[in-house]
């Protein structure tokens, strides 16, 4: 197979992975460790960083959509039937992940717009729910993205584009899903972007 054909989408995927990481660090809220714990702490950080908070809410869905499009371009270059079908499912899963992220971004934009007012009217006896009311959507997005990365890794491995690294990407995605669900009961999205970055670098290097 002429792996040179994967260099251009690999470069574009590398840029997208970097955009994801920019989004991850654009908001002061996500640069803190540990993350703000109480509703008032969360609202204060968000209200004091309207630009960064708004930026991450816009960057993430755009990056998810761009990655789904790039997965579709990669799919078109793969031989059939096995690798191409796996890549098609991966593309659909990544697009589904994009759809699941939309309500998260919309809720974050609304939260950013209302943070100052929520602080002004804050009642310690009845604090508002902040960043806790859409956890099921977060997990739906996370599992879709990790499954998409795993399947694309297998597709690239079977196609000979990333004969070893494709399996590594798959192992990282499957391992991450298992650790997130069964061990830590959480998943830092930044790790998904790292796995995507590994895949992108591999596609660039094969050219």
Predicted confidence (pLDDT) per residue in 70-113, tens digit: 999 999 999 878 999 999 999 999 999 999 999 999 999 999 99
Q: What pTM did the predictor assign?
A: 0.91
Which among 77-81, 163-167, 181-185 has the top mean pLDDT? 163-167
> With contact defined as beta carbons under 8 Å apart, do 53 and 27 qualify?
yes
The pLDDT of residue 171 is above 70: yes
Which residue carries 């739906």 as its tokens? 140
Record the tokens describing residue 15, joined without a space: 């840029």
- At 181 the pLDDT is 86
> With contact defined as beta carbons under 8 Å apart, do 7 and 204 qualify?
yes
Closest CA to 71 of 82, 81, 84, 59: 84
Higher pLDDT, 80 or 69: 69
Record the tokens describing residue 44, joined without a space: 């204060």
CA 52/CA 56 separation, integer angstroms:
6
Q: Is 161 helix (H, G, I), strand (E, B) or coil?
A: coil
> In this predicted model, what pLDDT tens digit does every residue of 115-129 receive, in sequence order?
999 999 999 989 888
* Burial environment of residue 38 by CB neighbours within 10 A (0 to 12, 13 to 18, 19 or more): exposed
- At 42 the pLDDT is 93
The pLDDT of residue 187 is above 90: no
- At 1 the pLDDT is 44
The pLDDT of residue 26 is above 60: yes
């Amino acid at each position: 197979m002429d792996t040179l054909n994967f260099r251009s989408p690999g470069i574009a995927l590398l840029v997208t992975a970097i955009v994801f990481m920019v989004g991850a660090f654009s908001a002061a809220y996500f640069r803190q460790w540990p993350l703000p714990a109480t509703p008032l702490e969360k609202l204060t950080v968000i209200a004091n960083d309207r630009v960064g908070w708004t930026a991450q809410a816009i960057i993430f869905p755009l990056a998810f959509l761009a990655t789904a499009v790039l997965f579709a371009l990669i799919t078109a270059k793969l031989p059939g039937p096995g690798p191409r079908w796996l890549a098609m499912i991966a593309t659909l899963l990544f697009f589904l992940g994009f759809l699941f992220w939309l309500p998260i971004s919309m809720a974050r934009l609304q939260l950013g717009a209302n943070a100052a007012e929520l602080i002004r009217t804050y009642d310690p006896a009845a604090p508002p729910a902040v960043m806790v009311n859409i956890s099921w959507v977060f997990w739906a997005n996370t599992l879709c993205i990790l499954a998409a990365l795993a399947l694309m890794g297998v597709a690239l491995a079977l196609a000979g584009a990333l004969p070893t690294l494709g399996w590594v990407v798959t192992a990282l995605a499957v391992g991450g899903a298992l650790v997130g669900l069964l061990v830590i009961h959480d998943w830092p999205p930044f790790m998904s972007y790292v796995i995507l970055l590994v895949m992108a670098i591999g596609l660039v290097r094969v050219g």
